[in-house]
Amino acid sequence: MSDTAPMTYREACRQALIEAMEADPRVFMMGEDIGAYGGCYAVTKGLLDMFGPERIRDTPLAESGFTGAGIGAAMVGMRPIVEIMTVNFSLLALDQIINNAATIPHMSGGQFAVPLVIRMATGGGRRVAAQHSHSLEGWYAHIPGIRILAPATIEDARHMLKPALADPNPVLIFEHVMLYNDTEPFDASVNAVDIATAAVRRAGADVSLVTYGGSLKKCLAAAETLAEDGVDAEVIDLRVLRPLDDATILGSVRKTRRCVIVDEGWRTGSLSAEIGMRIAETAFFDLDAPLRRVCSAEVPIPYAPAMEDAALPQPATIVATVRELMGRG
């Protein structure tokens, strides 16, 4: 019998960090306000007292500097976890992530590995305006040499860090800001997840909803509404944005013969566009209807609550898109 108890997404992330640091003395953390303050989202609360300032390192507001320090530490055998407060701020470290972390193993002919994990919050919904609310993980998913993870469940938030730290190449973990307070039953008997495959979160026969991160629960809510209309939606949680699990995506689409991709990134040049093109290239003749996408509006994410809600994908928008696709709009 499994030992199941409620857990928040925040606590799942925190427990993963504690487990990693207890298991390996090479693991340490760097980031803004992660020590005495306990982290912007309280994920690292109490870790300074547990592990001390040598392993929980508060940094200046200098993303390029401390990300570069993390890369250097990884190259000489440490296992750093760099926390960047929000994905928008990671743009200050783009040179380090893309031109160094992702390329050094290749440019050195394999002489150096960069076993670095970078965690960052992503997404909108918290009413903190454009510079703290964008979903840029699709940008990073464009870059060879790094693995991109987007844990959307308590179980994934708890267990994805361990295999990420074991990867010899850089791994970026995107934690959606609207998930930290989510509470779900957590099965303590589960002690591992993979970082290679997508997951079918709801089986269905009529349409595939392909999504990730903070949009997963919106798709699941939309699927419940659609079920009242007699539409059986399958929900695919990508979980891993690079490399994409084509087999799971295509297997679902070939079964349902319809697909709506839900991506909080902007539509133009988005991850949804990449997924849609892969489906078109490989499974075009399996489709009974055109591919559809639900993405964020092509604007900087607004501050005002009503405007922010209107700019982001919502269950009602997903439902309306599926109904149109099914000829029930």
pLDDT in the model for residue 1: 44
pLDDT in the model for residue 3: 76
Tell which residue, 23, 28, 62, has the closest CA to residue 47: 28
Q: Find how far residue 211's CA is from the centre of its chain.
A: 10
Q: Give the mean pLDDT per block of 10 residues along the chain (329 residues).
A: 83 98 98 96 97 97 98 98 97 97 96 97 96 96 97 98 97 98 93 96 98 98 97 98 98 98 97 98 97 98 97 98 89
Dist CA 94 CA 87 (whole Å):
11
Q: b/e string for 106-118 if b means 16 or more Cβ within 10 A? A: eeeeeeebbbbbb
192 within a domain of the structure (yes/no):
no
* Given the residues 132, 134, 159, 176, the one annotated as active site: 132
Catalytic residue flag (residue 63): yes
SS3 221: helix
* Given the residues 32, 63, 83, 264, the one annotated as active site: 63
**DSSP β-bridge partners for residue 202:** 235
Distance in Å from the first CA to the final CA of the chain: 45
Contact 124, 312 (CB under 8 A): yes
Last residue within a domain, chosen from 134, 166, 187: 187
- Identify the CATH number of the domain in which residue 98 sits: 3.40.50.970
What contacts 136, CB < 8 A, 6 or more positions away? 87, 88, 90, 91, 122, 265
pLDDT in the model for residue 40: 94
**Do residue 181 and residue 206 come from a single domain?**
no
Count CA within 13 A, CB hemisphere, residue 233: 31
Domain that holds residue 228: 199-325
Total domains, the chain: 2
pLDDT in the model for residue 2: 56
- Identify the CATH number of the domain in which residue 205 sits: 3.40.50.920
pLDDT in the model for residue 328: 75
Dist CA 176 CA 85 (whole Å):
12
pLDDT in the model for residue 97: 98
Alpha-carbon dihedral angle through residues 139, 299, 233, 278, given to the nearest 10 degrees = -40
Contact 204, 256 (CB under 8 A): yes
**Do residue 87 and residue 208 come from a single domain?**
no
pLDDT in the model for residue 329: 63
Dist CA 70 CA 73 (whole Å):
5
**Do residue 172 and residue 316 come from a single domain?**
no
Summarised one tens digit per residue, pLDDT across range 246-260 is 999 999 999 999 999
3-class DSSP string for 126-146: CCCCHHHCCCCHHHHCCCCCC
Sign of CA dihedral 134, 135, 138, 139: positive
100 within a domain of the structure (yes/no):
yes
Catalytic residue flag (residue 234): no
193 within a domain of the structure (yes/no):
no
* Helix intervals (H) in the chain: 9-23, 47-51, 63-75, 94, 104-107, 137-140, 154-159, 161-166, 216-228, 246-256, 271-283, 305-311, 315-325
**Do residue 46 and residue 146 come from a single domain?**
yes
